Structure 1
Amino acid sequence: MRIFAMGITGFIGGQVIASLLEKRSKCHIRVLVRDEAKAQQIAKKWANIEIVKGDLDSHDVLVEEAKKADIVLQMADADHTGAIRSLIEGLERGTKGYYIHTSGAAFLFDVTNGFGNPSNKVSSDVTDLEAIKSLDLALPHRVADALVMELSTRASIPTAIVCPPMIYGIGAGPVKTRSIQIPRLIRAILKREKAFTVGEGNNIWGNVHIQDVADVYLRLIEETLKPNGGAASWGQEGLYFAQAAEHRWVDAVKSIAEEAFDRDCIKTTDIDKLTAEEVSSLDPLGSILWGSNCRSNAERIQALGWQPKGPPMYESIAAEIEAELASNS
């Protein structure tokens, strides 16, 4: 099995490769890296991985590597349309292998009821697929996702798009080991020295542990080894949510406040209710990251046997705070 991967210095990519090597240690993996220092970190951790120098704009490199690959894992910039075109062109000219693209559930952001308020809107990657495919291209990731599906049909290349919601936990990759939303929220609370929510904080987000995200990729990779892509959906139906559970942001904030208080990082477990504008002054993306809703059902990957096994989000808070404190030490 020949794999060409991008983004393994990132949170998702690092965990996917770590999990893949644990399960299939003899697969042939080549990875794209642009930074020499990071290339050395990768080589130190995984001596059997072959490193290809370049970036997502290296058209000729991407085409040539994809031509030789059975599976291309694009786990870097989700919105880099040039890389998508180059990689699928390479697959079309070569092995006609599989293309697995990392996106996200950000296009499901919902603040219809106002920031900090819950929404009943839950999207399925099976029954709501056509509605999802017709969403406004101005929404996050929609342009890139639509391009993947378009080129999949045009080039007759089997593609899959993985759309995780909020990811938590500490990853096993060689470089980046943390996600975005929880670490940024912890950072803002510690800096402010008091916890807060956007409005009432009753808005709801889906969540998934980083190991369970990696297992989505492993499940899809296993299907590629079966005749005709196994039981997986590819191309126009190859959209996979990766949600494991849900949380209200006020509950996440309570957990952070209690842990930070126990560590004497803040002086109270009281929580302020801030406006979206006030939160945006703390973090430019804060009102969306912690004040919107984002809810989905991962029906398609569950039909392939995927079941989340990671610890609940709240059990990861202590390690997340410890990692934040260590990063500032």
Structure 2
Amino acid sequence: MGEVSILLTGATGYVGASILQGLLRHPDATKFEITTLVRDSAKAKILEEKFGVKAALGSVTEQEKLTKLAEDAHVVIHTANSSDSIEAMEAILRGLKNRHENTGDLPHLIQTSGTGVFMDDARGEYASTTIYSDLDLAALDALPPNAFHRAVELLAIDADEKGGYARTYIVSPSLIYGLGHGPLFDAGLANPFTFAIAAYVRAALKRGTVGVLNQGAGIWQSVHIDDVVDLYIRMLDAILSDPEKVSHGRSGYFIAENGGQSARELLQAIAEGLFALRRVATPELFIANVLFSNARCKGERARRELGWTPKYTPRDLLELVKSELTAYVKREDSA
């Protein structure tokens, strides 16, 4: 393997920083030329001086800068507002197209989406029997273009299928859990908190109780952050060693999940954890007017093509939520 130029967006975010750590500890890390896009000049300096990562100042909203950075990369790993910013995706794709036309290189885009694309409107009333598989291309093709995240997914797919100037892969994590950990987080460079659990904790602390809609029966799949990183690294290894063996474009859909749990189960764990910390009045759930959907799916492609074997299960989610709540509460108190 020669030197590989990699652009990683979202390097100080929960997912992006975790992936960056995976790249830095990779056996071939010395062959990676990693560029990140960072808004904070102090963090950029630490990334360059302490971690040997090239840090360009800016954000994914600066389209010309993003296009130029993408043009300079053989592999783009996109995690910064990646699932919903059409403008950022268009900027990246312009860069990849320029690279292909100017150099003949066929670059790769690993796009981060999310299983919110499968959400229904169950409002906590039922557990759906519809389960999407990333091997069922007909079901994926039938997703409406206005589904959550879908517009950006279609841009990535079209760049591969119609444009032919890049190989694109969509990684669709389910509910990610587990505190971010490692040297980037220890250095205060990255956000260690997963959005969904942080939002639930914030709302519970404001109300003094944990709410659930109807029966809280809707089911979401889940995946631990360490298993997510493992999937990205396996994908990178596969596309660098033998890209013809990795599905891409319309077929390159990789769901990251390892089982699921109902909203009630997750919220009950949060309620019990916060009650143990004496931050809510009761471990019982009360009815709240919030959306509780289903997003049921199976991540089969990464298991089949990449040998991905996630270690953590929904039982780990429910136990870890309780043990990690102290960190979430401390964050909210300081805010």
TM-score, length basis structure 1:
0.88
Count residues in correspondence.
312
CA deviations over 1:88-143 (Å, ceiling 9, x no partner): 2322332322111111111111224x43421111100112x232223222211111
CA RMSD of aligned residues (A): 1.9
2:21 aligns to what?
18
How far off is 1:19 after superposition? 1.5
Distance 2:125 2:267 in 1: 12
CA distance in structure 2 between the partners assigned to 1:316 and 1:189 by the alignment: 18
Selected match of 1:217 from 210, 227, 232: 232
8 Å CA contact 2:39–2:58 kept in 1: the answer is yes
Aligned counterparts, 1:30-179, within 5 A: 30-40=35-45, 42-43=47-48, 46-78=50-82, 79-94=84-99, 95-112=105-122, 114-127=123-136, 129-153=137-161, 154-172=163-181, 173=185, 174-179=189-194
> Which residue matches 1:283?
none
Query: For the Cα contact (< 8 Å) 1:41–1:175, is it kept in 2?
Result: no
CA distance in structure 2 between the aligned counterparts of 1:180 and 1:130, rounded to whole angstroms: 31
Q: Is 1:75–1:101's contact at 8 Å kept on the other side of the alignment?
A: yes
| Pairing 1:195–2:205 present | no
Report percent identity of matched pairs.
28
TM-score normalized by the length of structure 2: 0.87
Q: Distance in 1 between matches of 2:200 and 2:67?
A: 39
Matched, 1:264 2:287: no
Structure 2 residue matching 1:23: 3-state secondary structure: coil
Runs of at least 4 residues off by over 4 Å: none
Gaps of at least 5 residues in structure 1 are 280-286
Structure 1 CA distance for aligned equivalents of residues 42 and 323 of structure 2:
26
Matches of 1:92 and 1:298, distance apart in 2: 30
| Aligned residue runs from structure 1 range 238-277, under 5 A | 238-272=252-286, 274=287
Structure 2: give runs of 5+ residues left out of the alignment: 100-104
Report the counterpart of residue 237 of structure 1 in structure 2: 251
In the TM superposition, what is the alpha-carbon distance from 1:43 to its structure 2 partner?
4.2
Secondary structure, counterpart of 1:177 in structure 2: coil
> Does the 8 A contact of 2:211 with 2:285 survive in 1?
yes
Cα deviation code 1:189-209 (max 9, x no counterpart): 222222221111122110111
AA at the equivalent of 1:53: L
Distance 1:198 1:2, change over 3 A: same
CA contact (8 A) 1:170 1:177 kept: yes
Q: Quick check: 1:7 aligned with 2:10?
A: yes
Change (3 A) 1:194 1:152: same
Paired residue for 1:300? 301
